[in-house]
Amino acid sequence: MTESAGARWTDEPTDFGQKGKLPRPEAPPAGVLGSLNITAATAAPELLDLPWHIALEEWPEENLAALPRGISRHVVRFAHLSGSVIAIKETSEHVAKHEYHMLRKLRRLDVPCVEPVAVISGRTTAEGAALDPVLVTRHLKFSLPYRALFSQMLRRDTLTRLIDAQALLLVRLHLIGFYWGDVSLSNTLFRRDAGAFAAYLVDAETGELYPDLSTGQREYDLEIARVNIAGELMDLLEGGLIEEKVDPVATSELIMDSYRRLWGELTGKESFELGERWRVGARIRRLNELGFDVGEYTIKTTPDGATISLQPKVVDAGHHQRRLLRLTGIDAQENQARRLLNDMDTYRADNSPEVDEEISAHSWVSHVFEPIVRSIPRELGGKLEPAEVVHEVLEHRWYMSEQQDRYVPLAEAVQSYLDTILRHRRDEAAIMLTADTATMKILEGGTLGSDR
């Protein structure tokens, strides 16, 4: 929608000075407003209150929001707008409109990216001198540019997870046919939300959308990412923002490995019979080993069998533990929780995908977790804690299914686990008691060998 600022949107005046809200800025000169052209998806009359007659570099402090900015070849500022924050970038009209429409397309395709608000052209100073057009996007709440993250001296493993998130974003873009053309940490925002690391595209001015990307296009985009990330990490190293032991070039190579393995897992076609549901678990396991969780997966059935497609996500430490505790009240270790949640999600997909997650989780506890725990004979009850027993039963069932190339019922897997594994374990409770006794002896000045 294109509006001329001469035909100004009207609304009732609001007292922004009350209840701690920002005061309404002084309106720009009417003669300057008359030259503006605003292209926006929705009416945003409050845009007219911003000082578009001033070069962005010189905007007054009362209009600006104090948020960390990344490095950009353009002048970029954050500004307050009706209780929210927008990002404003000065550029050419052609580039601004291209990026605006590209971001709108990406949003419709459910790609993680910033929301475009408007393109504003026809800007002039009060004296009539031309000013560059601007692209306006909505600031992504709780997000930070990578330099703001590294100013906190992130550990190497966290750096690796951020690059994994970047690789995941690049894979998602390539899957829909988007060629980025300028992949870098600078053109990405990172957000931690409910334990997940997520990367969002923030600069699409060089991007193009195609029906499909060729291998050459994908590889070139990946090479751009490798070179740019290496340069950005060298800059951080020079500024003392990362540990000296971090090798920028070797670290940037991680995006190549992460991308290729993830691309293979997501695009590799895998068909199976309906009785081979263990293959779903195998696919999820391989993604877990790559450091990714599964946010969603779909199974499509055909006369010849079924195919599976997965939607991965990068998760923070403790995410699975917290989610399992919230859904079931079961307090487990992180790896245990991951395995239990994978089975819980598979149970929901197999039985009632339309049912609320919490209701399905309760059903899983009643039909899977508790029956396994109850099946452990009293004399074996001290071998392992319940969550570990259930975890091992599910692992055992998966291995049985893989080895026998068939779907193994839960009851059969439990009995096999009891007979071949659990009965031959040492009692974990006794091992812990022995360890505690030995510790007490040491604290009392004794030795392990003197305990006759």
In tens, the pLDDT along 86-133 reads 999 999 999 999 999 999 999 998 888 999 999 999 999 988 899 999
Q: With beta carbons less than 8 A apart as the criterion, state whether 127 and 53 touch.
A: no
219 or 66, greater pLDDT: 219
Report residue 347's pLDDT band, with 50, 70 and 90 as the boundaries.
Answer: confident
The CATH number of whichever domain residue 235 belongs to comes to 1.10.510.10
Q: Averaged over 226-235, what is the pLDDT?
A: 91
Residue 9 has pLDDT above 50, yes or no: no
Are both 254 and 304 inside the same structural domain? no
Are both 197 and 180 inside the same structural domain? yes
Are both 255 and 332 inside the same structural domain? no
Q: What are the tokens at 55?
A: 């070069």
CA–CA dist 24, 14 (Å, integer): 8
| Percentage of the residues of the chain whose pLDDT score is greater than 70 | 72
Q: Averaged over 302-315, what is the pLDDT?
A: 63
Q: Averaged over 138-144, what is the pLDDT?
A: 82
Q: Does 239 fall in a domain? A: yes
Report residue 194's pLDDT band, with 50, 70 and 90 as the boundaries.
Answer: very low
Whole-number pLDDT of residue 103: 96
Write the CB contacts of 159 (distance below 8 Å, at least 6 apart in sequence).
Answer: 150, 242, 246, 251
Are both 242 and 289 inside the same structural domain? no
DSSP label at 368? I
Phi, psi of 222 (to 5 degrees): -65, -40
Whole-number pLDDT of residue 23: 47
* Boundary of a domain, candidates 267, 299, 322: 267
Domain that holds residue 211: 144-267
228 or 159, greater pLDDT: 228
Are both 125 and 195 inside the same structural domain? no
Are both 228 and 251 inside the same structural domain? yes
Whole-number pLDDT of residue 450: 36
| Percentage of the residues of the chain whose pLDDT score is greater than 90 | 27
Are both 322 and 225 inside the same structural domain? no
Residue 15 has pLDDT above 90, yes or no: no
Whole-number pLDDT of residue 68: 62
Q: With beta carbons less than 8 A apart as the criterion, state whether 117 and 28 touch.
A: no
361 or 285, greater pLDDT: 361
Total structural domains in the chain? 3
Whole-number pLDDT of residue 307: 65
Q: With beta carbons less than 8 A apart as the criterion, state whether 162 and 232 touch.
A: no
Whole-number pLDDT of residue 174: 94
Q: Averaged over 264-289, what is the pLDDT?
A: 69
Tell me how far the alpha carbon of residue 207 is from its chain's centroid: 21
Residue 11 has pLDDT above 80, yes or no: no
Report residue 334's pLDDT band, with 50, 70 and 90 as the boundaries.
Answer: confident
Whole-number pLDDT of residue 293: 65
Q: Averaged over 403-408, what is the pLDDT?
A: 86
Q: Does 368 fall in a domain? A: yes
Are both 380 and 407 inside the same structural domain? yes
Report residue 51's pLDDT band, with 50, 70 and 90 as the boundaries.
Answer: very high
Are both 84 and 224 inside the same structural domain? no
Query: Which residue stretches of 245-318 are H helix?
Result: 248-267, 278-289
Are both 10 and 65 inside the same structural domain? yes
Q: Does 294 fall in a domain? A: yes
Q: Does 428 fall in a domain? A: no
CA–CA dist 115, 105 (Å, integer): 10
DSSP label at 23? P
CA–CA dist 398, 231 (Å, integer): 44
CA–CA dist 333, 318 (Å, integer): 8
Q: Does 129 fall in a domain? A: yes
14 or 384, greater pLDDT: 384
Residue 209 has pLDDT above 90, yes or no: yes
Residue 386 has pLDDT above 80, yes or no: yes
Whole-number pLDDT of residue 383: 65
> Lowest mean pLDDT: which of 3-12, 325-334, 421-430, 431-440?
3-12
Q: Averaged over 279-300, what is the pLDDT?
A: 67
* Boundary of a domain, candidates 95, 111, 139: 139
Residue 336 has pLDDT above 90, yes or no: no
CA–CA dist 415, 420 (Å, integer): 9
* Boundary of a domain, candidates 251, 267, 283: 267
Q: Mean pLDDT across the chain, nearest whole number?
A: 77
Whole-number pLDDT of residue 5: 39
Are both 26 and 116 inside the same structural domain? yes
Whole-number pLDDT of residue 270: 64
Are both 91 and 149 inside the same structural domain? no
Q: Does 33 fall in a domain? A: yes
Whole-number pLDDT of residue 448: 35
CA–CA dist 93, 90 (Å, integer): 9
Whole-number pLDDT of residue 182: 92
Residue 442 has pLDDT above 60, yes or no: no
Whole-number pLDDT of residue 305: 63
Residue 388 has pLDDT above 50, yes or no: yes
For the four alpha carbons of 390, 391, 392 and 395, in that order, the dihedral sign comes to positive
Q: Does 172 fall in a domain? A: yes
Q: Does 450 fall in a domain? A: no
Whole-number pLDDT of residue 71: 64
Q: Averaged over 198-212, what is the pLDDT?
A: 92
CA–CA dist 347, 249 (Å, integer): 43
